[in-house]
């Protein structure tokens, strides 16, 4: 079975933790322990978030003059290499020596007319108190929005259109390689207008879940998993009657609404994959990945199910 796992930001850096290499490595080691059993039995492709890491690099770059700072597409490429390296190393420490790994810098095409450029929504970097956010916004020209009680930088998040490296990714999978790719939603690129059709980088961050769904669809994955810090998709989250969906059709779960900044994009991506492929998408806790693959935990979404059921 071919499995695509999209690691949420919690797999790399939990809210409130220091953004150090050792903290990230510790969290990736936990993620590797959950994914290694899957790699032993199935073809595995891994994608991941990079919001905190891109934000940190952007802050470091802000110490330079404006024309010396690296743009977001370059920072995205940097984080793909850094995080991929750690995943490869921690997974390699758990799997047989002969299992090959490959991290691919993955360019993803976006539309220059995408409405996401006019309304920045993608959170990157650390959280701030309102006075600090206002000061940085004035100094750097960055845009901030509320993220719970704190404030956080937001950048454009256009829709992914095409993954350029899909052919080498397929080749590697066919040669039994564990592939890490499309990190942070991939490196955003677009073609300049004109006859030359020159490919250039874009000052944006593509949503990781939407890009991972496109990746899973183009790879004809049998199962698409989005790993997060929750055991599944909650109905009435935060209320005494809250319950976790066990199985659902896209139509049944589509009758509910979910927060745009957290579970909403994951549910949308899962429903799109399930509808387009007729296969199963799942959302659940990182530690539960082996059980999610077996269909025992998490929220499973497929057209093959009958309505909606809940975990007891």
pLDDT, one tens digit per residue, over 224-272 is 999 998 999 999 888 888 999 999 999 999 999 888 767 888 999 999 9
Q: CA 297, CA 312: separation in Å to the nearest integer?
A: 11
Q: In the structure encoding, which two tokens stand for residue 51, read together?
A: 């919001």
Instruction: Decide which of 148 and 84 is more confident.
Output: 84
Q: Which domains does the chain have, with CATH numbers?
A: 2-112+160-310 (3.40.1160.10), 121-155 (no CATH)
Highest mean pLDDT among 2-11, 120-129, 140-149, 276-285: 276-285
Which tokens sit at 302?
């497929």
Residues with catalytic roles: 9-10, 122, 208, 266
pLDDT at 67: 61
Contact 186, 108 (CB under 8 A): yes
pLDDT digits (tens, 9 = 90+) for 50-105: 877 777 777 676 666 666 678 889 989 999 999 999 999 999 999 999 999 999 99
Q: Write the pLDDT tens digit of every residue in 180-232.
A: 999 999 999 999 877 678 999 998 989 899 999 999 999 999 999 999 989 99
Q: Which two tokens stand for residue 97?
A: 């020596």
What is the model's pLDDT at position 114?
93
At residue 197, the pLDDT reads 80
| Token code pair at residue 190 | 């677009």
Q: What is the pLDDT of residue 262?
A: 78
Q: What span, in angstroms and rounded, lies between the C-alpha atoms of 132 and 144? A: 10
pLDDT of 254 reads 93
Average pLDDT, the chain: 90
């Amino acid at each position: 079975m071919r499995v695509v796992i999209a690691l949420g930001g919690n797999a790399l850096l939990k809210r409130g933790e220091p953004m150090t290499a050792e903290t990230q490595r510790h969290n990736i080691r936990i993620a590797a322990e959950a994914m290694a059993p899957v790699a032993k039995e199935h073809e595995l492709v891994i994608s991941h978030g990079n919001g905190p890491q891109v934000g940190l690099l952007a802050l470091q770059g802000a110490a330079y003059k404006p024309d010396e700072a690296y743009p977001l597409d370059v920072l995205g490429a940097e984080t793909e290499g850094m995080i991929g390296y750690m995943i490869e190393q921690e997974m390699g420490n758990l799997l047989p020596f002969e299992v090959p790994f490959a991290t691919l810098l993955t360019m993803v095409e976006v539309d220059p007319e995408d409405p996401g450029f006019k309304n920045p929504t993608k959170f990157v970097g650390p959280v701030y108190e309102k006075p600090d956010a206002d000061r940085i916004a004035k100094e750097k020209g960055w845009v901030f929005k509320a993220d719970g009680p704190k404030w956080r930088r937001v950048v454009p998040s256009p829709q992914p259109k095409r993954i350029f490296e899909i052919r080498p990714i397929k080749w590697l999978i066919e040669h039994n390689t564990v592939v890490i790719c499309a990190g942070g939603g991939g490196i955003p690129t677009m073609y300049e207008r004109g006859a030359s059709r020159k490919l250039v980088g874009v000052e944006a961050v593509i949503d990781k879940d939407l890009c991972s769904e496109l990746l899973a669809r183009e790879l004809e994955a049998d199962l698409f998993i989005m790993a997060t810090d929750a055991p599944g998709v909650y109905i009435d989250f935060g209320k005494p009657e809250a319950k976790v969906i066990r199985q659902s059709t896209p139509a049944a779960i589509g009758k509910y609404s979910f927060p745009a900044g957290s579970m909403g994009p994951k549910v949308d991506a899962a429903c799109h994959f399930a509808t387009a492929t007729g296969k199963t998408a799942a959302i659940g806790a990182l530690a539960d990945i082996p059980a999610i693959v077996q269909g025992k935990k998490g929220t499973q979404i497929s057209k093959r199910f009958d309505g909606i059921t809940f975990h007891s």
